[in-house]
Amino acid sequence: YQRRVHGGCAQPSENHVAPANHIGFSIDGKFLGTAGSDGVIKIWDASLMRMVGSIPAAHNGQEVTSIQFSKNSKYILSSGKDGQARIWDMTAARTVKVFGVVTQKTVARMHAAFSADEQSVGMLDEFSMVVNIHDTHSAALTQKLAGHGAPVRSFASSPAEHSIASACDDGKLRLWAPPF
């Protein structure tokens, strides 16, 4: 393992004013996205470590807890403590789709991720025992992946196939394969 520093650190004036909760690269490595406790999504030029875009109050002023770029880097999927996941048009910094699963604001960390084909969005909050699957285009809840006996803390969507792995407080891991 060799440690390399490309562009150094971001300018202090561009940093979040509260902790960054999550960070993600675009698939081509050109951009980084950060999800802040300050409620801001920031987009960075990864080679220069310079902020190139910002979405203030991205989740109604609540913390932003996860971020993921679409494969074509035109869209960003984020989740926040407002109980919603959102797809953003990266160039216009506007919401194009909103997914809701939590009926009340939560103190838990929300997480959202695209499926491998980007036709679905998975969502959870730390207090639930399910992974909710939504249709990317209609935002409709299409399935609830239930079966854990404790709160689900994390899930990952396979980049190669349409499957999901989830892990929960009881230490168990589940692999979900289609049809869900």
Average pLDDT (81-110) is 82
- The structure's pTM equals 0.86
Q: Is a pLDDT exceeding 90 seen at residue 6?
A: no
Q: Rounded distance, CA 122 to CA 35, Å?
A: 18
Q: Rounded distance, CA 148 to CA 63, Å?
A: 26
Of residues 80 and 108, more confidently modeled: 80
pLDDT at 42 (0 to 100): 94
